[in-house]
Amino acid sequence: MRIVFVCGSLEPGKDGVGDYVRKLSKELIKNGHQIWALALNDPFISYTFQSLIPLGNGEPLELRLPADLPAKEKVAKASSFVCSIDPDFMSLQFVPFSFHHKGLPYQLSGLLKQFGKDRKWHIMFHELWIGMDRQSHMKHQLLGMIQRQLIKGLLRKLNPVLVHTHCSVYLHELKKLTDIAQRLPLFSNIPVLDPYRVSQKMKQDYTLSDELSIVLFGGIHSGTPIKAFAAEAADYAKRNQKNLKLIVAGRNGPELGDVVKDWEQAGLPAIILGELDNNQLSKLLTELCFGLFTTPVLLAEKSGAVAAMMAHGIHLICVAREWQPFGPVQKQNPLHIPVYEIGKLAQFFQTQPDFSKNVSVRSVSEQFIANLSNAESYG
């Protein structure tokens, strides 16, 4: 197949969706497909960049358009790029904030319609709208209503042959807008450097470990009950004579200071590593057994940090604020990850992890092509 992926940015290591596009593209290219990538709103460059020859590492040819480029010029450059390729499919990798700094990409559907006219479209919704949960602020709920309408208009204008999303909660919402939505699992963007060692770690008995180093990788959400978790963790370590510390890696956001403070006030050490490259991160995650994340468990399926830690054999626990969507929930815990409750932390350390939900880029790419082929047959 000839496929053009369209996303916001393709800056390596700076944009999760861009990294996703690169990794999926490399797998598809390896399997004989012809892939191109178009960054339509890239804030990391100040000029138009186009690769003219393959880079030699299996990555797709790409066109990157700076965020401040006028819409008319974006259409002209993107049209020329797409016409020269004549793809079988255009694949939009959608996150509202990738195409507009306030998450309101009013012009997006019009731009896509202009340079992708009469093309077969696929849309992957990495994100939908904010304010989807009962606990969200009214301001977010109102903004989310506008974002939902924009998504509804996007579906109407592009008339895609196939729609994907990673998350079961999002799939439930998308099915209210279209009958062609399907779930495509999320793979890890972080390559596993030592698959054998990770596979051996997954077979060991996690309950026997005396070193309870807990890794927190990625963004930290507000409202996380870290203070209660840290106090209970300290008590568990003392009663069971375990060495316990927190290791924080990645881009964590403004909540990091409060998390470290709560952890240290509980009498436990915290090590802040900051951003690591993929090799450093893979080595770290391979060494450790336990981890936590602060994304609500209903949204864990769309978390790149969760996917990366699971791929490296990390026994995870969700430590997050309450997040309950307005609509009914069909799958309360789709990845079967333990959720922290006060007084029940010991159960986490005394149970074996479930890695049955792990997926690979290979399996995802195979499903992606199979779903597209089926859509093409019936489209």
Residues 10-41: tens digit of each pLDDT: 999 889 999 999 999 999 999 999 999 999 99
pLDDT of residue 281: 96
The pLDDT tens digits for 261-311 are: 999 999 999 999 999 999 999 999 999 999 999 999 999 999 999 999 999
Give the model's pLDDT for residue 116.
92
CA dihedral 41, 47, 51, 56 (to 10 degrees): -90
Together in a domain, 248 and 147 = no
CA distance 167 to 156: 22
As for how many domains the chain has, the answer is 2
Q: What percent of the chain has pLDDT over 70?
A: 98
Rounded distance, CA 296 to CA 225, Å?
12
**Domain assignment of residue 355, yes or no:** no
- Does some domain include residue 105? yes
pLDDT of residue 210: 78
- Assigned domain for 356 exists: no
Q: H or E stretch including 361?
A: helix 361-378
User: Per-residue pLDDT tens for 126-136?
Assistant: 999 999 988 88
Token look-up 């991160």 returns 281
Q: What is the pLDDT of residue 195?
A: 95
Read off the pLDDT band of 79 (50, 70, 90): very high
- Between these two residues, 346 and 377, which has the higher pLDDT value? 346
Residue 55 has pLDDT above 80, yes or no: no
How confident is the model at residue 305, as a pLDDT?
94
For the chain, the C-alpha Rg in angstroms (whole number) is: 21
Q: Tell which residue, 188, 148, 135, has the closest CA to residue 316.
A: 188
Verify that 281 and 220 share a domain, yes or no.
Answer: yes
The answer on 201 and 317 residing in a single domain is yes
- Please give the residue range of the domain that contains residue 273: 195-349
CA distance 4 to 6: 6
Let me know if residue 59 belongs to a domain.
yes
- How many CB atoms are closer than 10 A to CB 283? 14
CATH code of the domain covering residue 370:
3.40.50.2000
pLDDT at 314: 96
Is the same domain home to 126 and 258?
no
Calpha distance 340→363 (Å, rounded): 30
Q: Does residue 378 carry a pLDDT above 60?
A: no
Say what the pLDDT of residue 54 is: 65
